[in-house]
């Protein structure tokens, strides 16, 4: 094999003694998720410069697949001031990693978990009078005030008190000796679509709910409404703070999004050719024999599958880059591997395969993969699981 060594060069074992071999962890899989932490910090800064209000960086779902703790520590070092996650466990993981920024848990709360929020100094989402009561009771028991954001439902019908009946909740929160109301917020249902009339309606309902603070003569807490779509398309929704998630990672929420902020994609997914073969005309490839070679062709196998979160929906539809060219997947994506038809082109074992990212003149974006798989970029990112190691570039504390 006279190919130049790949990025994982395994030294020959001189005597077969396993102790002399590099550990499997050191060799790793040939597949890697490369995360450019500096791109995430640059995207955060670009968004902040664009909106000119504080940014709550959304790092739920393993920082959209990029790695919760490394991404958040880097954002904290880069000057982020607030964080948002979905579940209390995500907030606790960040506290245990030493993150000290304010963290809002945006999901609904369960009574038995409330004490966990308070002892870990996590901000709670309070969406009804009964939830407020649970928070007050836990805070009283612990002798510590809870920091809360009131959640107003303005059209998602998910969690949140309906805007029209928010008055009683606002009043109870303002009067509560055990709750400090840090924020009031809602969530946009249609902000990815710049032309949707839904957003203006939601903004109107939200501001009506916020007016209860003025009515009561109470200080206005942080009003926040805009997700990534709001940041891109609806300046009126920026208010006192924005909550971008997917934009931080350099990915647009929707093919119709207007890229009004310059962003850098932070994630690449690379692997290597593990097998090469010639497939004769008429032979079928993969489970179900769904793909048939029209003529003699060359097929390579790549060791990534739906068990890693690489969508099975890409079967015979997706593309990857090998030697700077796009090549189509042949047959079904298996749990641990998939096959690629490289036609008359050549490839060698250990050649780099780019599933997401750049190679030579070509690039495949997360948005491309999502379109091909018939889903949204969010789902592609978050389903990439821990079976593929993440490798971090940039940042003071880069780690493997
Ligand atoms: C996930 C989430 C966000 C971020 O959404 P993006 O579309 O990724 O910007 C903001 N707010 C809430 C309540 C969320 O659940």
103 CA distance to ligand 1 middle (Å) = 14
Asked if residue 309 belongs to a domain, the reply is yes
Residue 86 alpha carbon, nearest atom of ligand 1: 15
Residues 103 and 139 in one domain: yes
Asked if residue 146 belongs to a domain, the reply is yes
Residues 318 and 222 in one domain: no
CATH of residue 201's domain is 3.20.20.10
Residues 146 and 162 in one domain: yes
Measured distance CA(177)–CA(295) in Å, rounded: 76
Per the structure, the count of domains in the chain is: 2
Measured distance CA(390)–CA(143) in Å, rounded: 41
CA 252, chain centre distance (Å): 11
Residues 233 and 270 in one domain: no
Measured distance CA(337)–CA(300) in Å, rounded: 10
Residue 158 assigned to a binding site: yes
Query: Which residues have C-beta atoms less than 6 Å from ligand 1?
Result: 58, 60, 106, 187, 227-228, 243-246, 253
What range defines the domain where residue 328 resides? 1-30+266-364
Residues 128 and 197 in one domain: yes
- At residue 9, the pLDDT reads 52
List the chain residues with pLDDT less than 50: 1-7, 397-400
Angle at 388 between CA 79 and CA 311, to 5 degrees: 105
Residue 335 assigned to a binding site: yes
Residues 234 and 103 in one domain: yes
188 CA distance to ligand 1 middle (Å) = 9
Residues 18 and 51 in one domain: no
Query: What would the pLDDT profile of 239-253 be if each residue is shown by its tens digit?
Result: 999 999 999 999 999
Angle at 286 between CA 285 and CA 292, to 5 degrees: 30
Catalytic residues, which ones? 60, 287
Asked if residue 400 belongs to a domain, the reply is no
Asked if residue 227 belongs to a domain, the reply is yes
Residues 57 and 179 in one domain: yes
Residue 230 alpha carbon, nearest atom of ligand 1: 9
295 CA distance to ligand 1 middle (Å) = 48
Residues 306 and 158 in one domain: no
- At residue 2, the pLDDT reads 40
Asked if residue 257 belongs to a domain, the reply is no
Residues 317 and 232 in one domain: no
Residues 233 and 341 in one domain: no
Mutate to test the pocket of ligand 1, among 243, 246, 256 (most ligand atoms within 8 A of CB): 243
Residues 140 and 203 in one domain: yes
- At residue 22, the pLDDT reads 75
List the residue whose alpha carbon is closest to atom 4 of ligand 1.
Answer: 245
64 CA distance to ligand 1 middle (Å) = 11
**Domain final residue pick, 220, 249, 278:** 249
CATH of residue 18's domain is 2.40.37.10
Residue 61 alpha carbon, nearest atom of ligand 1: 1
Asked if residue 153 belongs to a domain, the reply is yes
Query: Residue 34 in contact with residue 272, Cβ under 8 Å?
Result: no
**What are residue 126's DSSP bridge partners?**
150
Asked if residue 381 belongs to a domain, the reply is no
Give the chain's largest Cα–Cα span: 81
In the chain, alpha helices (H): 24-27, 37-51, 60-64, 68-77, 88-96, 114-119, 129-142, 167-175, 198-215, 228-233, 366-373, 377-383
Residue 56 alpha carbon, nearest atom of ligand 1: 10
- Residue 77 has φ and ψ, to the nearest 5°, of -65, -30
Cα-trace Rg, the chain: 25
187 CA distance to ligand 1 middle (Å) = 8
Mutate to test the pocket of ligand 1, among 44, 63, 106 (most ligand atoms within 8 A of CB): 106
- At residue 201, the pLDDT reads 98
- At residue 6, the pLDDT reads 45
Mutate to test the pocket of ligand 1, among 40, 44, 58 (most ligand atoms within 8 A of CB): 58
Asked if residue 357 belongs to a domain, the reply is yes
42, 34, 103, 35: which is closest to 78 by C-alpha?
Answer: 42
- At residue 10, the pLDDT reads 53
């Amino acid at each position: 094999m006279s190919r130049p060594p790949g990025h994982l060069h395994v030294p020959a074992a001189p005597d077969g003694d396993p102790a002399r071999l590099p550990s499997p962890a050191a060799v790793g899989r040939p597949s890697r998720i490369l995360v450019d932490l500096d791109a995430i910090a640059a995207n955060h800064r670009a968004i902040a410069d664009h909106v000119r209000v504080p940014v709550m960086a959304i790092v739920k779902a393993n920082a959209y697949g990029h790695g919760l703790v490394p991404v958040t520590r880097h954002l904290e070092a880069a000057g982020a001031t607030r964080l948002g996650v979905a579940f209390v466990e995500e907030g606790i993981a960040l506290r245990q990693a030493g993150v000290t920024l304010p963290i809002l848990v945006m999901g609904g709360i369960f009574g038995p978990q409330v004490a966990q929020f308070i002892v870990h100094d996590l901000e709670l989402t309070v969406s009804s009078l009964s939830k407020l009561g649970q928070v007050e009771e836990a805070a009283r028991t612990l002798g510590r005030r809870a920091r809360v954001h009131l959640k107003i439902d303005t059209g998602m019908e998910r969690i949140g008190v309906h805007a029209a009946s928010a008055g009683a909740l606002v009043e109870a929160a303002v009067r509560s000796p055990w709750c400090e109301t840090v924020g009031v917020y809602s969530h946009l249902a249609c902000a990815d679509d710049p032309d949707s009339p839904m957003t203006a309606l939601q903004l109107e309902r939200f501001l009506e709910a916020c007016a209860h603070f003025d009515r009561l003569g109470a200080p206005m807490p942080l009003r926040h409404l805009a997700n990534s779509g709001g940041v891109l398309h609806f300046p009126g929704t920026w208010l006192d703070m924005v909550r971008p998630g997917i934009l931080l990672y350099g990915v647009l929420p929707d093919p119709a999004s207007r890229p009004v902020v310059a962003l850098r994609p932070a994630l690449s997914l690379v692997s290597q050719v593990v097998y090469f073969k010639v497939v004769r005309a008429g032979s079928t490839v993969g489970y179900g024999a769904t793909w048939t070679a029209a003529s003699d062709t060359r097929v390579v196998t790549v060791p990534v599958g739906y068990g890693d979160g690489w969508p099975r929906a890409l079967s015979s539809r997706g593309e990857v880059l090998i030697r700077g060219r796009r090549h189509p997947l042949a047959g079904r994506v298996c749990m641990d591997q998939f096959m690629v038809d490289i036609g008359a082109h050549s490839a060698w074992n250990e050649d780099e395969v780019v599933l997401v990212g750049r190679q030579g003149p070509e690039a495949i974006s997360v948005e491309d993969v999502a379109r091909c798989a018939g889903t949204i970029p969010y789902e592609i990112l978050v389903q990439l699981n821990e079976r593929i190691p993440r490798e971090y570039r940039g940042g003071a504390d880069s780690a493997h």
